[in-house]
Every structure is written in C-alpha cells, then in structure tokens.
C-alpha cells in the first residue's frame, strides 16, 4: 500500500511539474472554490494539489508511524528484551555448571548434550547481532520519523500555507526539506551497506551450499555461524529477534526451549543434511544476489532524488546568482536558479515515481527465481 501511494503521490507531482493536462479542471482553483471557500492565498489551491496533499498526508502518517515503531519496538523494546535474556542466560549458565559437576561419566551425556555448548555460542552470537540490529533500528527509525514529520510542511505547501507566516513560511518549508535530506542521506548510507552485504551473502551461501552438498553433513559444527545455521533451518528467528516478550518466567522457558532446539538441529545436521537443503540455499543465494543489485538500483534512484531536492535548498540560500561560488554554480549545472529549482524538484519527483515500480515488481521476479518445491512449501 505504501509503495502504491508513493507512486501516486510522485506521479501527480511529476504531472504538475510538466503541466500535464494543463488545460483541465485539475489546475483550476475555481473548481475547489465550488466546494469550499478558503482564505487567500489558500484559495489558489487546485484539485490536483488537493490530490497531492492527500497522498502527502498519508506519507506523513505512515512514515512517521514506521519511524516510531522502529524506535520503540525494533529499538528500545528489543534492547530491553535482549538485556533480560542475557541476564536469564547468566543465571541459567550458573545452574548448568552445578548440574554438570554432578555428571561424572561423560558417556552418560546424550548427543544433544554434546551440542549444547555450540548451541549456547550460537544463541550468544545471535543476541549480540540482534542487539546491533536494535541499535541500528533506533538510529534509522529516528531519521525516518523526522522524514515523516517533514511532510507536515509539504502538505501545507500544497495548500499554499507556506506563502503565509503561519508555520514559518517558505523558510519553514526549506528547514523541513533540509531535515528530510539529512534523514535521506543516512538511508543512502545504509543502502550502500545493505547492497554490499546482500551480494557478499549470496557468494557465501553459494560456497556453503556446495560444501554441504559434497559432504552430505555438517563437518565442523563447532565453527558454524548464526548466518549459516539460519540458512540450514530456512530462517532462524528466535523470540528475541522477533521482539516477542512475555513474563520473566515465560522468557526463561522460551530461552531454554530455543537452546534445546538449536542443539537438537545441530546434532541432526552433523549426521545428515538432505540434498534439498543445499539446493534451497543455492536458490536463495541467487535471490540474495538479485536483492543486492536491486538495492543498488534503489540507491541510484534515491541518490538522484537527494541531489535534485538538494538543488532546491541551495537555490533558496544562494538566491543571488552572481554571488554564487563556482562549486555552487557547478552543482546547479550552471543553470539559472529558476531552472535549477524546477529541474531539481522534477528529478526528485520522477525518481520517487520510478522507485515504487521496482518495489511492486520485485516480488514477482523473486517468485520466478524460487524453485517449485519452495513455492509449494510457502503456499
């Protein structure tokens, strides 16, 4: 839904930029006045601008909520949950040591008991990884929240409110755009990281799939990583990764059950790995490679959008063309301010019109890359 609204919003903005259907009622503020009389200069609002403002208001709500959820649920709540689980593990480890002292004969231990230490290592590493993910979620969520709040001024601008001094005027709009640009810059940084990570993951998965296909089992379970274990079980998502919390007692039981499950699966994989698992991992490596390249496409589109909207901000602060430094003139492609402002805004709107097309089309492409057996499992 978000991608659909994003496409509509920026497609409408692009239509406005290029004055498409310029002779139609969409550009006539008198049509708006038939239904509601607005005070000047708000009475200049056209039906097209009202349509744009509706999609901008949707973005205000949805993006702001997404940022808040990333801060609260994916960040703070998750960090608190992980902290509780770490404390529970400390207590469980002490109890385990006492229990192990009572076991004098090593032969009395079952196969699963022998893999408990490896399971504990995987759980510990998973907790550390999810802690880092929660910290990132908090940081990125803060930037997403500010991007969402910036739409307040974009909605107001569609109604010509920024032509007044009610919420800071045009300067308030520029400040909002600047905040959004800073947030977008952070997102661009993580797009670079995620794209590279997905491509590296693809090659690792391919190598791992070939290794287990030849051995038919997990040869060295002591060095298995959280990532590799997740590939083997087709996605390891323990309750602390999902952010599912409960009472201290419930979390303690869930932790114990999770560790036992990991130890059991490690024991099974050390004996035999079905050929379907290696085939699945190999297929998923191709999807991961596609996701990495797709992330680079998003990076390019958003980089152009960032640059385009940046030109609008630069034009505002460097209003006098003659006083502009050479590097500013170069950034504006030596165009007059009016042209640079129009082109920058048009490029940004167009790039964000193209992006949701890729977002909406990519699931179909990835589904076509999924083997039939995996499709049947997901169905």
Concatenated DSSP letters of 114-157:
HTHHHHHHHHHHHHHHHHHHHHHHHHHHHHHHHHHHHHHHHHHH
At residue 114, the pLDDT reads: 74
Which of 294, 277, 275, 274 lies closest to 354, judged by CA?
Answer: 294
**pLDDT confidence band for 195 (50 / 70 / 90):** very high
Q: Are 48 and 27 in contact (CB under 8 A)?
A: yes
Mean pLDDT of 81-92: 84
- List pLDDT tens digits, range 251-278: 888 999 999 999 999 989 988 988 899 9
289-335 pLDDT, tens digit per residue, is 999 999 999 999 999 999 999 999 999 999 988 889 999 999 999 99
**Is the pLDDT confidence value at 24 over 70?**
yes
Cα–Cα distance for residue pair 374/379, rounded to 1 Å: 9
pLDDT at 378: 46
**Residue/partner pairs of 103-112 with CB below 8 Å, 24 or more apart:** 111/267, 112/260, 112/263, 112/264, 112/267
Exposed, middle or buried, 242 (CB in 10 Å: 0-12/13-18/19+)? exposed
Q: How does pLDDT run across 136-158, given as a tens digit for each residue?
A: 999 999 999 999 999 999 999 99
Which long-range CB contacts under 8 A does 93-96 form with residues at least 24 apart?
93/120
DSSP 22: T
262 vs 204: CA distance, rounded Å: 21
Which of 34-43, 80-89, 189-198 has the largest mean confidence? Answer: 189-198
For residue 107, pLDDT beyond 70:
no
Q: pTM of the full predicted structure?
A: 0.89
Q: What is the pLDDT of residue 109?
A: 55
Is residue 286 predicted with pLDDT exceeding 50?
yes
> How many CA atoms are closer than 13 Å to the CA of 241, on its beta-carbon side?
14
pLDDT, position 353: 97
Show the beta-strand stretches assigned E in 243-359: none
- pLDDT of res. 295: 96
Structural tokens at position 191:
């797009």
Structure tokens at 250: 């419930």
| Whether residue 170 has pLDDT greater than 90 | yes
- pLDDT (tens digit per residue) in 216-225: 888 777 789 9
Instruction: Give the pLDDT score at 98.
Output: 54
The pLDDT value given to residue 108: 54
d(CA 207, CA 227) in angstroms, rounded, equals: 13
- What number of helices (H) and strands (E) belong to the chain? 14, 0
User: What's the rounded Cα separation, in Å, for the pair 159 and 164?
Assistant: 11
Residue pair 4/360 in contact (Cβ under 8 Å)? The answer is yes
Q: Whose CA is closest to 314, among 348, 350, 340, 352?
A: 340
State how far the Cα of 178 lies from the Cα of 147, in Å rounded to an integer: 10
Query: Helix or strand or coil: residue 214?
Result: helix
User: Does residue 95 register a pLDDT over 70?
Assistant: no
Which pLDDT band, with edges at 50, 70 and 90, does 199 fall under? very high
d(CA 170, CA 177): 11
Burial of 202 (0-12, 13-18, 19+ CB in 10 A): buried
- DSSP 8-state symbol, 77: I
The dihedral of CA 179, 183, 184, 186: what is its sign? positive
**Shortest CA distance to 296 belongs to which of 140, 187, 189, 192?**
192
- Rg of the chain over Cα atoms, rounded to whole angstroms, equals 27
């Amino acid at each position: 839904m978000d991608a659909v609204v994003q496409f509509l919003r920026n497609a409408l903005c692009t239509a406005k930029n290029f004055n498409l259907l310029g002779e139609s009622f969409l550009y006539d503020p008198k049509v708006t006045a038939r239904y509601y009389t607005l005070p000047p200069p708000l009475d200049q609002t056209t039906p097209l601008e009202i349509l744009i403002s509706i999609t901008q208001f949707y973005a205000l709500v949805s993006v702001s909520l997404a940022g808040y959820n990333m801060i609260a649920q994916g960040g703070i709540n998750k960090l608190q949950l992980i902290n509780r689980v770490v404390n529970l593990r400390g207590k469980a480890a002490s109890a385990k040591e006492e229990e192990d002292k009572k076991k004098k004969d090593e032969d009395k231990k079952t196969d699963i008991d022998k893999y408990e230490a490896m399971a504990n290592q995987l759980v510990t590493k998973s907790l550390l990884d999810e802690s880092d993910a929660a910290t990132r979620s908090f940081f990125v969520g803060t930037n997403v929240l500010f991007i969402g709040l910036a739409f307040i001024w974009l909605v107001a601008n569609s109604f010509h409110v920024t032509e007044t001094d009610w919420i800071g005027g045009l300067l308030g709009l520029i400040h909002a755009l600047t905040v959004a640009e800073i947030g977008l810059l952070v997102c661009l940084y993580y797009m670079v990281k995620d794209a590279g990570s997905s491509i590296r993951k693809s090659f690792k998965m391919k190598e791992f799939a070939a290794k287990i296909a030849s051995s038919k089992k997990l040869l060295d379970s002591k060095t298995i990583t959280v990532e590799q274990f997740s590939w083997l079980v087709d996605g390891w998502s323990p309750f602390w990764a999902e952010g599912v919390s409960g009472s201290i007692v419930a979390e303690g039981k869930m932790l114990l059950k999770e560790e036992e499950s990991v130890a059991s699966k490690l024991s099974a994989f050390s004996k035999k790995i079905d050929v379907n698992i290696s085939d699945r991992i190999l297929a998923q490596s191709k999807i991961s490679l596609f996701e990495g390249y797709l992330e680079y496409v998003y990076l390019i589109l958003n980089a152009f959008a960032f640059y385009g909207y940046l030109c609008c901000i630069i034009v505002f602060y460097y209003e006098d063309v003659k006083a502009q430094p050479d590097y500013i003139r170069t950034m504006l492609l030596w165009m007059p301010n009016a042209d640079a402002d129009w082109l920058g805004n048009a490029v940004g709107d167009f790039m964000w019109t193209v992006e949701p097309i890729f977002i909406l089309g990519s699931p179909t492409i990835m589904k076509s890359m999924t083997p039939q057996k995996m499709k049947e499992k997901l169905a």
